[in-house]
A = this chain, B = another copy of it.
Amino acid sequence: MRNNFNLQLNELHEDLKKMGTLCEDCITFATQSLLLGDTELGERAIQAEKQTDIMEKEIQNLCMRILLQQQPVASDLRTISAAIKVITDMERIGDQGSDIAELIKKTQIPFEAFNSHIAAMADCIIRMVTGSVESFIKQDAKLAKQIADLDDQADDLFIQIKNDILDMMSGKTKHDRAFGEKALNTLMIAKYLERIGDHAVNITECALMAAGSQNAQQE
């Protein structure tokens, strides 16, 4: 029975890794689409998001099967219920990546001047997503805390991008509607990235929950 549980837990971890990779793909394609002005990459982000939706349902069903067949208790039950929460966050990460791609399809690419800040923010966010999923799978509380700390960096970059936009808006010249649209959309894209960081933090909280119960069991 325990052996069976471990087999299913391995399957769950493999699936979570795959879903994590899809989330990273989605963010990478969306931000590359943004920075290179390549709408085809945006399409790939949208496709990756559709696959995260499918994986969420598959993993949810796997969790249900584990609960039903293994009727886990204590830390095992907590791990499975934390996994149900983790996939909810991963699915939302895909949604936000796809939202970025959709926004780029509808509008002009944002100000080139912002590219370095947006690229830095995307880089930080991708590290957060990868690390948060890893911290959950490995039940690594230390890694989870490191990843949560990165969120401050993401928040600072968001504020920096917002200030960049404000500087441009309050410049010497009067701006047209297209400028305004660019400004608002750039802010939204930065906000989507920041929100992805929040989801990664949620995943690290699930990792801490699972790691805590694991430690409690080992004691």
Contacts and interface: CB of A to CB of B under 8 A. Distances in A.
Nearest to A74: B68
10 contacts: A68-B73, A166-B181, A166-B184, A169-B177, A170-B175, A170-B180, A172-B174, A173-B174, A187-B188, A188-B191
A176 B166 CA distance: 9
A18 interface: no
A9 B173 CA distance: 62
Interface string A172-205: 1111110111011001100100010000000000
- What band does the interface of chain A fall in when counting residues whose beta carbon is under 8 Å from B? 20 to 34
Contacts of A191: 188, 191
A71 B67 CA distance: 8
A165 interface: yes
A80 to B, nearest CB: 9
